[in-house]
Amino acid sequence: MLKKLTLPMEDAGAARKPAVFRYGLALALVAVALGLTQLLQNAVSLTGYIFFYTAVVAGSWFGGRWPGALTVILSALAVEYFFMPPIHTFGIHREFLPVFIEFALTSAVIAWFSAWRRDAEAALERARNGLQARVEEQTAELRKTNAHLIAEMAERKRAEDAYYEAQAELSRVSRLSALGTLAASISHEVNQPLAAVVTNADACAMWLANNPPNLDEARSAVDAIAREGTRASDVVRRIRAMFSKGAPERTAVNLNDLIGEVVALMHTELSKNDIALRTELARELPSVTADRVQLQQVLVNLLQNGIEALSAVTDRPRRIVISSEANTDGEALIAVRDSGVGIDPKDQKRIFNAFFTTKPQGMGMGLSISHSIIEAHGGRLWAGKNSDYGTTLQFTIPARHDAAP
């Protein structure tokens, strides 16, 4: 590869001009200075060699160091030959020798300083131009990098949107897959208030058929019908919300009430599997800001996981304990403890991975979706092995800022 030619510093500023021009300029400047000095010698003293000094400055500035040195030599020779006695000879009287030496040294210093000053300004200009070129190059590179980053961020945003959309759809599919398991519980929950409505309606008809009609009892029966009808409506509304595709809506949630709703919903499933469920709920549990339906799904998933863990247990009571408390970090802590077969230590770190399951018919999505839901609420979900039997799955949810403990 060819290397760029680097000129000496002293000639860097004058390298653009041909050498003949620079040295010719030195000769011309000395000639002009000589002519002007001779023309004005009657008005200029012997020590007033201003035109020669000017020639030295100009020769050094426009020609460079070596043309400037030539200007100094020619000026000294001209002054000595034409103005230092004896005139028109290269000899100097002793009394004029200091004047000549002073002129020569002063001219040399002026030439050196002029050439140095010009080289310094030329170097500064080159540095400025080089810096500007590097800045423009770096700016163009930064613009290119910035455009690449913007495109990458846009692509990442599209990928995140697609991921969250897929996760929401997968969460809904998971809820729908639990519908078959919860069918008996739904039937039980709806049948209870409907049976109460029928019973109270029969009682009301009986009280009204009396002679005279017992209006107080009939009114009480009608009130009971209204209450049970509202209860049935609430059950249906909760079930529809749990399996709807609506956008999440975060409101103030009392976790103890939520636990009671889920326990009632899972009552038939627990009874069918001969599982005793006990709740240990803190009386002063702070409320949380959360999506009620999503937290219902988490609790249903954790209970279903406990039920499946107890399916193979035959040598000890089948128990599930749901507890709630406020921890020291100001969070609500919910724990679901079972007396099942427990978790294999090699699987403990993988149980929250999507599609990981140890059950032949499992989808491997329940705990993964629950983990995502709790993290989206700013909490944590983890599993731990009990000291005796089974596993405890527990999660935290930050308390509302305005909620009193």
DSSP string for 156-175: HHHHHHHHHHHHHHHHHHHH
pLDDT at residue 391 greater than cutoff 80: yes
Model confidence at 2, in pLDDT bands (50, 70, 90)?
very low
Residues 237 and 356 in one domain: no
Residues 197 and 264 in one domain: no
**Conformation bin of residue 387: beta by default, left when phi > 0, alpha when psi is -120 to 50:** alpha
Helix (H, G, I), strand (E, B) or coil at 382: strand
Residues 210 and 259 in one domain: no
pLDDT at residue 190 greater than cutoff 70: no
pLDDT at residue 45 greater than cutoff 60: no
Looking at this protein, which amino acid is placed at residue 217? E
Residues 199 and 235 in one domain: yes
**Conformation bin of residue 325: beta by default, left when phi > 0, alpha when psi is -120 to 50:** beta
Higher pLDDT, 13 or 81: 81
- Whole-angstrom distance, CA of residue 379 vs CA of residue 329: 11
Asked whether residue 146 is assigned to any structural domain, the reply reads no
pLDDT number for residue 239: 59
Q: What is the DSSP letter of 3?
A: P
Neighbouring-strand partners of residue 396: 333, 380
Stated length of the chain = 405
Using one digit for the tens of pLDDT, what is the confidence trace for 367-387?
A: 777 888 888 888 999 888 888
pLDDT number for residue 18: 77
pLDDT number for residue 59: 79
- Using the structure block, give the residue that is written with the tokens 């000129």: 7
Residues 128 and 87 in one domain: yes
Asked whether residue 214 is assigned to any structural domain, the reply reads yes
Residues 114 and 19 in one domain: yes
Asked whether residue 159 is assigned to any structural domain, the reply reads no
Asked whether residue 364 is assigned to any structural domain, the reply reads yes
Asked whether residue 161 is assigned to any structural domain, the reply reads no
Phi first, then psi, for residue 273 (nearest 5°) are: -95, 10
Asked whether residue 266 is assigned to any structural domain, the reply reads yes
Domain that residue 299 falls in: 248-405
CB 255 within 8 A of CB 287: yes
Asked whether residue 156 is assigned to any structural domain, the reply reads no
Residues 131 and 81 in one domain: yes
Model confidence at 173, in pLDDT bands (50, 70, 90)?
low
- Whole-angstrom distance, CA of residue 5 vs CA of residue 16: 13
pLDDT number for residue 356: 56
Q: 189, 214, 246 — which closes off a domain?
A: 246
Q: 202, 226, 246 — which closes off a domain?
A: 246
Does the predicted model carry a pTM greater than 0.85?
Answer: no
Higher pLDDT, 335 or 273: 335
Q: Which of 85, 122, 120, 79 is nearest to 102 (CA)?
A: 79
Q: 138, 165, 191 — which closes off a domain?
A: 138
Q: What is the mean pLDDT of residues 154-170?
A: 83
Q: What are the tokens at 289? A: 């800001």
pLDDT number for residue 281: 92
CA dihedral 236, 241, 243, 244 (to 10 degrees): 130
Residues 252 and 226 in one domain: no
Helix (H, G, I), strand (E, B) or coil at 19: helix
First to last CA, the chain: 78
CB 69 within 8 A of CB 42: no
CB 64 within 8 A of CB 16: no
Q: What is the mean pLDDT of residues 164-181?
A: 67
Using one digit for the tens of pLDDT, what is the confidence trace for 47-72?
A: 467 788 888 888 788 777 788 788 88
Q: What are the tokens at 111? A: 């030439």
Q: Which of 237, 258, 259, 253 is nearest to 189 (CA)?
A: 237
Q: What is the mean pLDDT of residues 18-24?
A: 80
Residues 253 and 305 in one domain: yes
Residues 280 and 340 in one domain: yes
Asked whether residue 215 is assigned to any structural domain, the reply reads yes
Q: What are the tokens at 172? A: 């809904």
Residues 321 and 379 in one domain: yes
Average pLDDT, the chain: 78
pLDDT number for residue 324: 93
The domain that holds 377 is classified in CATH as 3.30.565.10
- Whole-angstrom distance, CA of residue 11 vs CA of residue 26: 15
Q: How much of the chain exceeds pLDDT 90, in percent?
A: 9
Q: How much of the chain exceeds pLDDT 70, in percent?
A: 78
What total number of domains does the chain contain?
3
pLDDT number for residue 354: 59
Q: What is the mean pLDDT of residues 203-224?
A: 85
pLDDT number for residue 305: 84
Helix (H, G, I), strand (E, B) or coil at 363: coil
pLDDT at residue 388 greater than cutoff 80: yes
Q: What are the tokens at 358? A: 């140890």
